[in-house]
Amino acid sequence: MNSSELTELIKLAPHVYIIGNGGSYANAMHICNDLLSVGVRAYCIDPSTLTAFSNDYGYEKAFARWIGVVGERDDLLIALSGSGKSQNILKAILMAEARGMKVWREFGKPQNLNMQKAEEWQIELGHKVMMNLK
C-alpha cells in the first residue's frame, strides 16, 4: 500500500472512478466522498445505475459498461477487491485500460483471505490519500 503513489495518480487524473463489491463498494463510496471533500472529481456508480446495467448487461459487465460510458483517457480507476477475483472488477479494469485510463488495484493479499482485513486496508489507504491531499 503506497498512499504517496496513489496520491500522485489522483492529482494528475481529470476524474477518479472507484469501484468495489459489498464492503469494498461501501469503502469505494466512503473514499469517493472523502476525495470530494478535498476537491477531487471522484465518482462512484449510483445504485440505480448499477442495478440497471446489471439487469441489462449482466452483473459481470455492469462496472465495465459504466466505465465504457464515462471513462476517458488519463482518468483514474481505483478498483477495490478483497479477493482480486471478481469478474465485474476485472472486466472494468480491462475496459479502463482499453480507454487509456490509469488503474490502481487495491486487492487483498492472496495469502490472507480475511475480507475484513482487506477492507480495513482499503479504507486506511483512502484516509492516507485524503490526508496527503489536504
pLDDT tens for each residue of 12-41: 999 999 999 999 999 999 999 999 999 999
Q: What is the CATH number of the domain that holds 91?
A: 3.40.50.10490
Provide the domain count of the chain.
Answer: 1
* Three cell numbers, residue 113: 483471505
Backbone angles phi, psi at 16, to 5 degrees: -120, 130
Give the burial string for 11-29 (b: 16+ CB within 10 Å, else e): eebebbbbbbbebbbbbbb
pTM of the predicted structure, to 2 decimals: 0.94
pLDDT tens for each residue of 58-112: 999 999 999 999 999 999 999 999 888 899 999 999 999 999 999 999 887 655 5
User: Which pLDDT does position 110 carry in this prediction?
Assistant: 54
Domain that holds residue 81: 3-133
